[in-house]
Structure 1
Amino acid sequence: MSDRRDGAPAEPTDDADPAVDGGHEPGSSTHTVRLELDDEPGQLLAALQPIASNGGNLLSIYHERGNKTPRGRIPVEVDFEATPDHFEAIVDAFHDEGVTVIQAGTERYAEELTLLLYGHLIDTDLSDTLSRIEASASTSVADVSLAAPRGTEDASSARLRLEARAGETATALDAVRDIAAEKGLRVVAPLVGVEA
C-alpha cells in the first residue's frame, strides 16, 4: 500500500526485508539445515522463527511427521536463502533456542558413536540411563537395541547409537562411562563397523 496520493507506486527502498518481500538479497545463497523437533504443537513455527528474525528467506520445508526418529522426534529439512553472515546467525539462533541441529549446510553438527552397555540394565532403570545420557554433553540417543533375557536375574545388553555435537564425542563417551560406573554397568566403545 502506498502513502502517495498521486496513485503512483511507492519507490522501493534499500532496506526491504527479503524474508518478508520474497526478494533476493545480494550475496545470499541457498542453505539447507536438518533439524529434529519434538512432536508438540507449535514446534515447527518456533523452529522457523530464527530464520525470519535473522534475515533469511524461507524457500521450502520438508516435514516428515509420520517418520519419527527413535527419540520420538520429527525430522525436518529446511531450505532458505541467506548471506553467509545471516546463515551463521541463524544457526547460532537455533542452538540458542534449543533446536536440535543435525546438519547445517555442509557442516554436520552431529557425530555418531556406537557403543554397547552391558549389565543389569533393567534393574538399574534403562529409561533413566538413557535420559541422563541425553541430558549430558549435548548428546542424544539416536537408536537403542536391547537384548534382555526373560526376567531380570541375568545381565542384559543394549547397543546405543549416540549423536553428539561435532568435536564432542569424547565428552559424550566420558559422560556415558560416568553414568555406567555409577550403575555398575560395563561400556564397550566405540564399536566400529557396526550397522545401526
Structure 2
Amino acid sequence: MADDAVTTDELEEERTDGGERPQTHTIRLELQDKPGELLSALRPIADNGGNLLSIFHERGNLTPRGHIPVEVDVECPPDRFDTIVEALRDEGVNVIQAGAERFGEEMALLLVGDIVDTDLSDTLRRIESSTDATLADLSLSAPEGRDGASSARLRLATRTGRTDEVFAHVRDIAEEKDLDVIEPLLEVAE
C-alpha cells in the first residue's frame, strides 16, 4: 500500500470528533446595518468548527425592528451545532431560527389604541423579549395621525405549543399601555 493511501479509520476520523458525518444546518440571523456586523456574525461559526456553505444577505429588506435578515447555511457535526448557536448568542447576534429551534407556529393579532404615543418600538421590543416569539410581520394604520386611535396588525412566529403564553405576554403589555387586543385573527384566503 502506498504511503499516501488513506485507510477507512483515517476517513472516519476526518468526519468529526465523534465519528458523525457533518450535516447542513440553516441559521437565520438579524443584524444591525453597520460595517463589520456580518463578519462578526460569521466568526463564531468558523471558530467553532462550522463550514460556511452559503449566505443570503437580504440587504434590501429590513425586519420590523429595522435590522437586516441574514440566512446562513453551515455544515458541521450535530454535536457542534448547539455550540455554534450558543457562541453566536454570546457575541450578541440575534438568532431568529436555528435548526430544530425554529418557530413552528404563527398567530396574528390586532392592537388598537394610542399605539404611536405609547411607543410602538418599545411595545414590539417587549413582545419579542419573550424567547417564545418573534415578529414576522407588522402593519400599522394611523388614519388620523398622532391625534387619533391607531391599530397595528402583528403576525408573530411562536415556538410550537407556546401561543397561549405569548398571548398572555402581549395582553400584559397591552393592559399596561391601555391598548385593546383582538386575538387571534384568522387568515382569510383570497
| Aligned match for 1:126, one of 106, 120, 124 | 120
Deviations along 1:99-119, one digit per CA (max 9) or x if unpaired, are: 233333355146433110012
Matched, 1:55 2:49: yes
- In the alignment, structure 1 segments of 5+ residues that lack a partner are 1-13, 15-22
Distance 1:111 1:92 in 2: 23
Distance 2:170 2:156 in 1: 10
Distance 2:145 2:77 in 1: 58
Q: Secondary structure at the match of 1:103?
A: strand
What's the offset of the Cα at 1:159?
0.5
Aligned pairs, number: 176
Cα RMSD of the aligned pairs, angstroms, is 3.0
| Aligned match for 1:137, one of 123, 130, 135 | 130
Distance 1:159 1:165 in 2: 19
Deviations along 1:80-110, one digit per CA (max 9) or x if unpaired, are: 2211101222123233333233333355146
Matched, 1:34 2:42: no
Other-structure match for 1:18: none
The 3 A distance-change label for structure 1 pair 126 and 30 is closer
Distance 2:124 2:46 in 1: 34
Other-structure match for 1:173: 167
The TM-score, its normalising length taken from structure 2, stands at 0.75
Matched, 1:116 2:110: yes
Q: Secondary structure at the match of 1:34?
A: strand
Deviations along 1:106-161, one digit per CA (max 9) or x if unpaired, are: 55146433110012223433333233323x21344332212223255542221112
Structure number with bigger Rg: 1
Deviations along 1:142-193, one digit per CA (max 9) or x if unpaired, are: 3221222325554222111223455544333222111111121111122222
What one-letter code is carried by the residue in structure 1 that aligns with 2:91? Answer: E
Deviations along 1:34-84, one digit per CA (max 9) or x if unpaired, are: 222121222211211221122112222221212222322112121222111
What one-letter code is carried by the residue in structure 2 that aligns with 1:117? Answer: L
- In the alignment, structure 2 segments of 5+ residues that lack a partner are 1-8
Matched, 1:186 2:180: yes
Q: Secondary structure at the match of 1:189?
A: strand
The 3 A distance-change label for structure 1 pair 33 and 132 is closer
